[in-house]
Structure 1
Amino acid sequence: MKAFVVSWQFWALLSASFAALTAIFAKIGVANVNSDFATFIRTIVILVVLGAILAATRQFQSFTTISGRTYLFLILSGMATGGSWICYFRALKLGDAARVAPIDKLSVVLVAVFGVVFLREQLSLPNWLGVSLIAAGAVLVAYKG
């Protein structure tokens, strides 16, 4: 069990679980507030919680130890995250969580494609089949018919 807790699979499953809860909690949370303001509140909570985790585990490091390239890509990642959150909360405000979340999870398909194109990662035929099934499944779950 200890080996599982330090595996990427464990953390990926936890991430998926928290993402599912995010959709449900956010759908309820945006009912009576502007979606952008809801995203702002969510961001403050994340900053406070993550700051507490870093302080409690003594994981803060000097900002001068980080390279310019690392800063560039972390800033770009932050901007992409912000864009994703803003769009996600707006979609939840307008649509059903059970339909919005699967479309949002098309990011899995895009990560596979971007990983191959930009990072030169290799996917096998079974991997591509899985990516295709994820795409088809997201569309089918989101379909309102």
Structure 2
Amino acid sequence: MTSSSWLPWAILSAVFAAATAIFAKVGVSGLNSDLATLIRTAVVICVLVALVSATGQWQPLQEISARTWVFLVLSGLGTGASWLCYFRALKLGDAARVAPIDKLSVVFVAVLGATFLGERLSGVNWAGVALIAAGAVLVALKG
């Protein structure tokens, strides 16, 4: 697997996200969801510090542009809000229903990417986006 090929990384992301949902559902069962999110975040920070250190990827923070800082901070705030909401949803609902609704982010990314980033999707791509939306809703329905 090369670092320039996005597909294997995206598939691994999906596999790890699925594992995350199951582990989080079990882990949050006896704990406040916000504290569970904090513990998860601390683990992520420790792993990333170790990874960046082991691979020598540190760079002087003052070399990072103000624009990059702003968007990374906004992304971090979005991630934190997403995780808090996700863990609260897992605390209250079934993982098999919560995770598909969380994956509606795929639909939102397509719409926002087209609207704000000028990304172009074909008709077939938009049909796929619509199917993802419909599938997420159908999986989340209590039958």
Q: CA RMSD in A?
A: 0.9
Structure 2, unpaired ranges of 5+: none
Query: What code does the residue aligned with 1:12 have?
Result: A
Number of residue pairs the alignment of both structures matches: 143
Equivalence for 1:12: 10
Query: What code does the residue aligned with 1:53 have?
Result: L
Q: What percent of counterpart residues are identical?
A: 66
Task: Give the TM-score, by structure 2 length.
Answer: 0.98
Q: CA–CA distance in 2 between the matches of 1:22 and 1:110? A: 21
Q: CA–CA distance in 2 between the matches of 1:6 and 1:115? A: 21
Q: CA–CA distance in 2 between the matches of 1:31 and 1:63? A: 39
Equivalence for 1:123: 121
Deviations 1:7-66 (A, max 9, x none): 100000000000000000000000000000000000000000000000100001110110
Deviation at 1:6, TM superposition (A): 4.0
Report matched runs for 1:32-111 at 5 Å.
32-111=30-109
Structure 1, unpaired ranges of 5+: none
Deviation at 1:122, TM superposition (A): 0.6
